[in-house]
Amino acid sequence: MNRRELLKSAGAVAAGAAMLPFLKTNAWAQSASTVVVLIGNTINSLDIHRPGTNRPSYQVAVNVYDRLVTFGTKKLADGSLSYDYDKVEPELAESWQLSSDRKAILFKIKANATFWDGTPVTAEDVKWSFDRALALGGFPKVQMGAGGFVDPSQFVVVDSKNFRIDLKQPSKLALPNLGVPVAVIINSKVAKANATEKDPWAAEYLHRTPAGSGAFKVERWDAGQQLVYVRNDKWVGGPLPAVQRVIIREVPATATRRAMVERGDAHLSFQIPNKDAQELAAAKKVKVTGSPIDNCLYVACLNYNFEPFKDQKVRQAVAYAIPYDQIFKQAAYGRGVPMWGGKSPKPATAAWPQKFPYDTDLKKAKALLAQTKYKDGFEVPLSYDLGEADWGEPAALLIQESLGKIGIKVTLDKVPGANWRTVALVDKKLPFLLENFGGWLNTADYYFYWAYIKGNLFNASNYDDPVVKKLVDETLHMDKSDKTYDAKIKQLIQKAFDDVPRIPLWQPTLESAMSPKLEGYEFWFHRQVDARSFKV
């Protein structure tokens, strides 16, 4: 099925989707107490710490749980709202104090902070939650490690309302890392009451039954269909939400989501295809906002476990065979920042992301391939997430066609969105894949930590280089003012240029369409719906 056929078939789903619960009436005409949001991917768990929890599920951590800190808000040039990475603000913490050697942070928890069941939020809950993130392993453990939190002994209960983190070394990422979705505070008393000997961290219970203090509670979850939030009227983590209920509807077909937001059956269609953003913005019936995604790249990953991709010249040949401009026009619809065509093979600055020194040059690609034992080509499957098919499918088709011109036969492998994270990022067995990773913490070393270090979740290429590992270890917690910082970052970027385990396509924007009546929509680094500021 080509992309045009895919979009045509999606329209057939529209009538059925309109009959789903809560969407029988015009959403814009409903009372100001309810907001209806459309998403294209499936939420597979309500517990961000649970192994296998996918990216769309992170919104649950944002809306129903609190963290010690959060980030401020700023206005972008077009008037839209965005988080402010440079402004850390209180959420559950009333205040915090950094020791003179920057190796300890003492937090005072808000005296009136309570969980949904009315019990106070204590330092014991904070410690239990952070201990849990480390104990369950996988992505949460690595994310905690990015802030320098690697050992439960670092989490210290001073008394019921005072909590301390002891750092092994000062880190520029420690405080902001406490504002990411993983650093949630769970009601440990409820969790322990539902734990078992085989499940001491209550992973099975919290998978379906959150126990938080956040702005919203989960009223119902119909897996694969909808998630309904209801306001927690006793929330003290920020300004009380203006809406009482938020309905998150899963509607996989992009054409259906577009039709529903245009005719008023939803207030917000979150993360829409760039084609729809371009056309809807021109039509001016709904509001469209596109925010650049900090520290994010759409990439083609070449897995080092696949024999041909162990050869640097093969990887570089593929990089020269990618039809970048066509992909940008047909998959991104020109919305975003090109990441190809850098003028120099060496990074001029430590800015990240920046253009890579590759462009479409089939002659150069063939010449590089001719220097390898794969001069006659080879066959490789190219995988993409069906939940990201709006850009993945046209990009894959264009790559398939272009690589065929240098003798590489590409077959297409479509992976269901609910399985993507496990297959692509946990198992890391896909030879060639389209992926996107956006760093929650806006520094180059943080991106390399996740995407270029062996074993870390977003290193789908299985890339492993001792020089890169050493540089990441040295820079991850280093202050940007250190006189050696920029030089080390440029070394990292040079390795990315030369080795190309990840071939950048473009830096994306996150596009959303909404009712003219919806206010308070804010872009966040985690690329998930934050409903706490919505107003209608």
Helix 274-283 × helix 254-262 angle, to 10°: 20
Residue 362 and residue 316 share a domain: yes
Domain check: are 305 and 332 in the same one? yes
pLDDT digits (tens, 9 = 90+) for 44-63: 999 999 998 998 999 999 99
More confident position, 21 or 122: 122
Burial 378-416 (b: 16+ CB within 10 A, else e): bebebbbbbbbbbbbbbbbbbbeebbeebbbebeebebe
Straight-line distance from the first to the last Cα atom of the chain, in angstroms, rounded to the nearest whole number: 40
Assess if residue 208 is contained within a domain.
no
Across the range 266-283, mean pLDDT stands at: 95
Query: Is 242 within a domain?
Result: yes
Residue 433, pLDDT > 90, answer yes
**Residue 201 domain-assigned (yes or no):** no
For residue 10, the model assigns a pLDDT of 35
* 16: pLDDT strictly greater than 60: no
In a domain, 500, yes or no: yes
Do 352 and 416 have their domain in common? yes
User: So what's the pLDDT on residue 417?
Assistant: 85
386 & 316 share domain: yes
Q: Is residue 17 part of a domain?
A: yes
Pick the more confident residue, 337 or 387.
337
**Tokens 């054409």 — which residue?**
255
- Measured CA to CA in angstroms, residue 384 lies from 110, 301, 388, 394 at distances of 45, 11, 8, 11
Residues 279 and 306 in one domain: no
Does 228 share its domain with 127? no
Angle between helix 312-321 and helix 362-370 axes, rounded to 10 deg: 160
Q: What is the pLDDT of residue 435?
A: 97
Q: Is residue 204 part of a domain?
A: no
In this structure, are 172 and 232 located in the same domain? no
Is 50 exceeded by the pLDDT of residue 18?
no
Asked if residue 152 and residue 127 are part of one domain, the reply reads: yes
User: pLDDT by residue (tens digit) across 168-190?
Assistant: 999 999 999 999 999 999 999 99
* Percent of the residues in the chain that have a pLDDT greater than 90, as a whole number: 90
pLDDT mean over 486-499? 98
- What average pLDDT does the segment 269-273 reach? 95
Is the model's pLDDT at 533 over the cut of 60?
A: yes
For residue 21, pLDDT over 70 is answered with no
> Each residue of 233-259: pLDDT tens digit?
999 999 999 999 999 999 999 999 999
Quick one: average pLDDT of 261-287? 95
Q: Is the pLDDT of residue 158 over 70?
A: yes
**Looking at the structure, do residues 311 and 433 belong to the same domain, yes or no?**
yes
Residue 369 pLDDT level (bands cut at 50, 70, 90): very high
CA 198/CA 204 separation, integer angstroms: 10
pLDDT digits (tens, 9 = 90+) for 501-511: 999 999 999 99
Angle 107-113-114 from CA coordinates, rounded to 5° = 130
Sign of CA dihedral 71, 75, 77, 82: positive
As a whole-number percent, the residues of the chain with pLDDT over 70 amount to 94
Say whether 314 sits in a helix, a strand or coil.
Answer: helix
Whether the predicted pLDDT of 15 surpasses 90? no
At residue 27 the predicted structure's pLDDT band, cuts being 50, 70 and 90, is low
pLDDT at 363 over 60: yes
Q: Is the pLDDT of residue 203 over 60?
A: yes
Report pLDDT for 291.
Answer: 87
Q: End of a domain among 169, 196, 223?
A: 196
Q: Is 221 helix (H, G, I), strand (E, B) or coil?
A: strand
The β-bridge relationship of strands 245-250 and 226-231 is antiparallel
Q: Whole-model pTM above 0.95? A: no
In the Cβ-directed half-sphere of 293, how many Cα atoms lie within 13 Å? 23
Neighbours of 144 (CB within 10 A): 20
pLDDT score, position 387: 85
**Is 282 part of a structural domain of the chain?**
yes
Given 170, 196, 222, which residue is the final one in a domain? 196
Judge whether 300 lies within some domain: yes
Whether pLDDT at 197 is above 60? yes
> What's the CATH code of the domain at 78?
3.90.76.10
- Whether the pLDDT of residue 340 is over 70: the answer is yes
Query: Do residues 455 and 496 both lie within one domain?
Result: yes
Query: For position 3, what pLDDT does the model report?
Result: 35
Q: Supply the range of the domain harboring residue 381.
A: 296-507
List strands edge to edge, sheet with 296-302.
337-338, 502-507, 296-302, 432-438, 378-385, 408-415
Strands (E), 329-469: 337-338, 378-385, 408-415, 432-438
Least confident of 20-29, 73-82, 490-499: 20-29
**Pairing mode of beta strands 69-75, 296-302:** unpaired
Residue 416's CATH number: 3.10.105.10
Q: Say whether both 135 and 6 belong to one domain.
A: no
* Mean per-residue pLDDT, 425-434: 96
Average pLDDT for the chain: 93
Q: What is the mean pLDDT of residues 355-363?
A: 98
Average pLDDT over residues 456-485: 96
Question: Is a pLDDT exceeding 90 seen at residue 17?
Answer: no
Residues 142 and 227 in one domain: no
Q: State yes or no: pLDDT of 4 exceeds 60.
A: no
pLDDT of the residue at 77: 86
Q: How many domains does the chain have?
A: 3
User: Which residues, 6+ apart, have CB-to-CB distance to 434 below 8 Å?
Assistant: 298, 299, 300, 301, 382, 383, 384, 385, 388, 392, 395, 396
pLDDT at 292 over 90: no
